[in-house]
Amino acid sequence: MRVAFLVAPQGAEQVELTEPWRAVGEADGERELISTRPGQIQAFDHLDRADRFPVDRTVAECEVEDFDGLVLPGGVANPDALRMDEGAVAFVRGFVDAGKPVAAICHAAWVLVEADRVRGRRLTSYPSVRTDVRNAGGEWVDEQVVVCDAAPSTLITSRRPADLKAFCAAIVKEFGG
Could you tell me which residues come within 8 angstroms of residue 47 by beta carbon, excluding any fewer than 6 positions away?
Answer: none
Q: What angle do CA 113, 119, 125 make, to 5 degrees?
A: 50
Residues catalogued as catalytic: 106-107
Q: CA-to-CA distance for 37 and 29, rounded, in angstroms?
A: 24
